[in-house]
Amino acid sequence: MTPDLFAAGPGPAERAAELRAQLHHHAHRYYTLDEPEIPDAEYDRLFQELQAIEAAHPELLTSDSPTQRVGGRVLDELVAVRHRLPMLSINTETDTEPSGARNFDTRVRRALGLTEVDPPVEYVAELKFDGLAMSLRYEDGLLVLAATRGDGEVGEDVTNNVRTIRNIPLRLPADAPPVLEVRGEVYMRRADFEALNDKQRAKIAAGAKGEKTFVNPRNAAAGAVRQHDSSIAAQRPLSFFAYGLGEITPPEQGGPAFETHYDMLMQLKASGFPVAEQTALCTGADALVAFHQRIGGSRDQLPYDIDGVVYKVNALALQRRLGFVTREPRWAVAHKYPAQEQLTTVLAIDVQVGRTGKLTPVAKLAPVFVGGVTVTNATLHNEDEARRKDVRVGDTVIVRRAGDVIPEVVSVVLPSVRAEPVEALSSDHPELVEGQAQPERGPVFTLPRQCPVCGSDAVREEGEVDYRCSGGLFCGAQRKQALLHFAQRRAVEIEGLGDKLVEQLVDSGLIKTLPDLYKLGFTTLAGLERMAEKSAKNIVDALEKSKRTTLPRFLFGLGIRHVGEATAKELARHFGQLDRIMDASVEALSEVNDVGPVVAQSIRTFFDQPHNREVVEQLRACGVTWEEGEPAERAPQPLAGKTFVLTGTFPTLKREDAKAMLEAAGAKVAGSVSKKTDYVVAGTEAGSKLDKAIELGVTVLDEAGMLALLPT
């Protein structure tokens, strides 16, 4: 469903910023930490909502938007590798029923301009493995590099670990091309996973320290691939399937010639690469539907986990015609299956506080095996959702492992409304037997109005469903996020204070609030694990340097909800002094340019918390300073109402500097060219945006022409 951009709640700009932050966070949890917090389906929903906002408001599109790139980030401990050709993701079909296959075929035929009388399109149907995407680079037939997908542009060098995977060839046949990059998936078979966990349990029982069992085959495989010691990876039974190519020597230089994707897969198979035997040619939508149903029916019998199937247009010439949309090919789609469900009992309902302050009710469950794992917790999302489903302690519920990642409670099962027989369930769930006296249900769930971690007010903004802790600078659950936000380059900027160091400082108890940063000494830092004396001195110097900042940077660094860089600048310009901002009423805050009632109330709520004010005063006492003055007059905005698009490389200006100059003059800077675009500023190596501007008759400027429009 397309989000209602005009519903009550945050405006499009604020919602887009919130979605970008959430998607970056969840991509980090999924791709980097292997500790996802939300199901794939929820990530897809957030992603689609952001796409819809950016489509309706092109001026909100930013270069760092998750829609502009594949999610993920390289782990600091591994060597970064830039892919010669990006490892792009593919779109996910939101209709999990077989009809989703017809949706894809319809889109392909429409894009190719085919009518009902034209012959059906031929596809290759493959399995969507639940593993870790991998690129294998061969030069002159030898495996020289194995790299993870990373963020799609830059991955991690895991060559030594991948060499231990027995079904990956280390040397190709003599007729191999000079350069060949094979793309595929590293995974762990279910039987191998269970055997591995049996060994882990035996070690734990024998008293081994630091050992643990693994949650699922995907996480076990991902963890093995990212080991620093390849001998550890060799002990884990990993496998590989090939499904595509990256860089390859072209035919005119001695490389192979393929006309279809299927031919390419068969040649890879002939060269020794494993290709899933279920891979099939399918002609037309009916064949795709049949494949989806056939694989879905045998999914549980497969020796490895999958979470869907993938369809690809077979003819490479047609793939080139269809091309790409943003980060995704038009000629391929991932088609997932409906989430798996089971019955269990709610033992308790706890409240978790996330790193951004969101309060989430979580149902503690009697252990149940769902989607390949034993589930003991399931999200209830928010108070409204918990009440809508009327989930209470003691209830029997349907739990779904949505997207095969994070479990959720779907609904409560009451015996009086059950339509299907319950005999098979009665041994495990005697409360479901018809006619049996039922115990009185527990009380209706209510989310606490104070944060269970720090005691600050839990507030819900108008039009929102989530309650959030308002003690952002004080709350222990938000401590790491607050430190990282405060220290980032666009805020106060403390160079060298990254994820690993923040985690170490917080987990060791050295840092409880932001001011504790400025109480760190060289001796304390140098005494930390993996912290050399030079690194400790660099951090001390960076802390000292960060004390001299600006009011907008400091405001942004406080992490006030909805207050981004632009809003922080407007607040500083309007009020001139921090104390005036902290004491301003909602009405006074609403007078600031681009600050609406939701943002104004968020600022007021933040500074109404004594904990937050205390942190601000302590930071001042630690020597954090900035220049203040009288409110500034609004600068002239001669380009107000004009929309610009920037493309290419400029002679003297960086892209972000040009954007800032245009925005300061009142212009909107969009990410794509449309009929509403007034100017396209083109530098060298300008691409499709310049072509689009010429096609639409949009005025094209160079850097000098743009500067001529700006006030002197």
**CA–CA distance, 614 with 603 (Å, rounded to integer):** 16
Give the helix ranges, DSSP H, for 415-475: none
Which residue from 513, 517, 485 is spatially nearest to 622, judged by alpha carbons? Answer: 517
**Identity (one letter) of the amino acid at 413?**
V
Using the 8-state DSSP alphabet, how is residue 390 labeled?
T
Which residue from 150, 147, 193 is spatially nearest to 305, judged by alpha carbons? Answer: 193
**CA–CA distance, 452 with 523 (Å, rounded to integer):** 35
Q: Which residues contact 290 (CB under 8 A, 6 or more apart)?
A: 282
Structure tokens at 502: 């923040």
**CA–CA distance, 685 with 646 (Å, rounded to integer):** 12
Of 128, 659, 668, 689, which residue is the catalytic one?
Answer: 128
The 10 Å CB-count burial string (b at 16+, else e) for 361-389 is bbbebeebebbbbebeebbbbbbebbeeb
Q: Is residue 346 classed exposed, middle or buried when 0-12, 13-18 and 19+ CB atoms within 10 A define those classes?
A: buried
Residue with the two structure tokens 């963020």: 151
659 tagged catalytic: no
| Strand pairing class (142-148; 154-156) | unpaired
CA gyration radius, the chain: 28
Question: Strands, E, within 380-516: which ranges?
Answer: 396-402, 406-412, 458-459, 468-469
| Strand pairing class (332-336; 91-93) | parallel
Q: Which residues contact 489 (CB under 8 A, 6 or more apart)?
A: none
**CA–CA distance, 305 with 325 (Å, rounded to integer):** 29
The 10 Å CB-count burial string (b at 16+, else e) for 236-268 is bbbbbbbbbbbebeeeeeeebebebbbebbeeb
Which residue from 124, 122, 121, 149 is spatially nearest to 135, judged by alpha carbons? Answer: 149
Structure tokens at 407: 């479990």
**CA–CA distance, 554 with 581 (Å, rounded to integer):** 12
Using the 8-state DSSP alphabet, how is residue 656 labeled?
H
| Residue 391 CA, distance from chain mean position | 29
Structure tokens at 49: 């909502």
Number of DSSP helices (H) and strands (E) in the chain, helices first: 24, 24
Structure tokens at 314: 């077979």
CA separation (Å) from 9 to 50, 56, 351? 15, 17, 24
**Identity (one letter) of the amino acid at 188?**
M
Using the 8-state DSSP alphabet, how is residue 30 labeled?
I
Which residue from 272, 256, 271 is spatially nearest to 316, judged by alpha carbons? Answer: 256
Question: Any idea which residues carry the catalytic annotation?
Answer: 128
